[in-house]
Amino acid sequence: MVQLVIVDKNDEEIRLEDKLKCHLSKEILHRAFTIFIFNSKDKLLIQKRSKNKLLWPLTWESSCSGHPLQTEDYITAGEKRLKEELGFSSKLKLLGKFRYQARYKNIGSENEICALLIGKYNRKVNPNPKEVAEWKWINLKTLKKDLIKKPKEYTPWLKIAVRQFIESV
């Protein structure tokens, strides 16, 4: 049973709670991270979530996302998750944090303080098929247009991260 870190609006730890309970409730604010990996051509690696995901299955998201354990900081958790999900390592840095809440159909929701981590990578991607259905490198200009044309094909956290952090870069 995975325990998520429940936080207040200032990202201060309150307690631990079961991951499933967090995602079935719209009330429980917890820590999360999302990662943007860029290659040397300034293309962003995005992935389509596995069909087995409870929330937003088969939906395009950032390079990788997850939740830090109580004993991890955002960067340590992100670097570990990147290896588990995409089969490679990259040094990450924290770009910033945002808070969001989004409901997925009548199944569940996310209510997160989400850290955006960024890194660079140029070699082979070896995704875990239990986590990733597809992946691709995409030009940011193309992605921004697609987010407007086909918003339902992308996760809420990817749209927010692009709008809040990438458009200003």
Pair of tokens at residue 113 = 């303080």
Specify the pLDDT at position 169.
Answer: 46
* pLDDT 10s digits, 41-63: 999 999 999 999 999 999 999 99
Q: Three-class SS string for 57-117?
A: CCCEECCEEECCCCCCCHHHHHHHHHHHHHCCCCCCEEEEEEEEEEEECCCEEEEEEEEEE
* pLDDT 10s digits, 133-144: 999 999 999 999
- Split at pLDDT 50, 70, 90, the class of 13 is very high
- The DSSP H or E segment spanning 140 is helix 140-149
- Split at pLDDT 50, 70, 90, the class of 1 is confident
Contact between residue 78 and residue 72 where contact means Cβ atoms under 8 Å apart: no
Domain residue limits, the chain: 3-166
Q: Is the pLDDT of residue 66 over 80?
A: yes
Which overall architecture, per CATH, does domain 3-166 show?
A: Alpha-Beta Complex (3.90)
